[in-house]
Amino acid sequence: MSEIALSEFLGKFDFRDELTGYVGIEREHFLVDRHGVLVPRSKLFLETMDDERWTYELSACQVEDRTRPQKEIGAIKLELLENDNNAVMCARKLGIRVINREVQDVDMPLDVYPDPRYLEIVRNIERERLSAACRVTGTHIHIGVSDMMSAIATYNVLLPYLEELCELGDHSDGERLRLYKTMATSWKPERYKNVHDFLRVAKLRGFAENPRNCWDLIRISRHGTIELRMFGVTEHTDEVLMWVSRIKKILKGGGCYVG
């Protein structure tokens, strides 16, 4: 078990009071050629895109777009649409397409983006888990919180709604989440009594040194947010906004500040 001290653990989270209630979106996408065949060209795509809102994923056949923290639903929508438009133009230059599909076929390429962390992950997992990780894409929603106590309170309010939110964001009859659970093995969030209990769980489950190694479908993110990872992908921006609205309604009902 990790011997990390509480103060060191808390220092790994970047809470920002001024971003309380702000929302950030991450969306994963597959890259395909003109015939719809997956292509491991994320590095070239990102070099061509040259936009900090776009980044890589484990699979070299995937890219991810992000929004800046936004408070208003309208601002979130505009940024999502701008990212979509930029993706179309960038992909067109490369003769490929960016598509939204929750689950890809089992025989897809397993090329990995050449990031040191990802290369280390691949060295330590079996092929079945690597395939599960590469075959799925999702949408992650971040809600800003001011400090760790607020984070734990907000996180705990969301836990009873896990099953509802999983169903709300599902477009693959549960297949995406089945594969996600194959990859993550530990994915189910548990209630934290307080900060010390959170550290205890983090030590037991091996993410005290690096919070990124927590794969729970709801987690307290190192970015100082509550991150919800259960949603799939969609072609419809308004559906993403509906997910955000539902989360905010849950939090407001639980007495959490959501802006």
**pLDDT (tens digit per residue) in 190-244:** 999 999 999 999 999 999 999 999 999 999 999 999 999 999 999 999 999 999 9
Cα–Cα distance, 14 to 145 (Å, whole number): 10
The chain-wide mean pLDDT, for the chain, equals 96
Of the candidates 27, 43, 221, the one whose C-alpha atom is nearest the C-alpha of residue 136 is 27
pLDDT in tens, 51-75: 999 999 999 999 999 999 999 999 9
- Coil, helix or strand at residue 136: strand
Q: Fill in the DSSP letter of residue 227.
A: E
Q: What percent of the chain has pLDDT over 70?
A: 99
Distances in Å between the Cα of 147 and the Cα atoms of 18, 25, 220 are 11, 20, 11
Predicted structure pTM score: 0.96
Q: Which of these, 58, 194, 81, lies nearest to 137 by C-alpha position?
A: 58
- In the DSSP assignment, the letter for residue 9 is H
* pLDDT classification of 1: cutoffs 50, 70, 90: low
What would the CATH number be for the domain defined by 6-253?
Answer: 3.30.590.20
Domains of the chain: which residue ranges? 6-253
Total Cβ atoms within 10 A of residue 53: 15
* DSSP 8-state class, residue 67: P
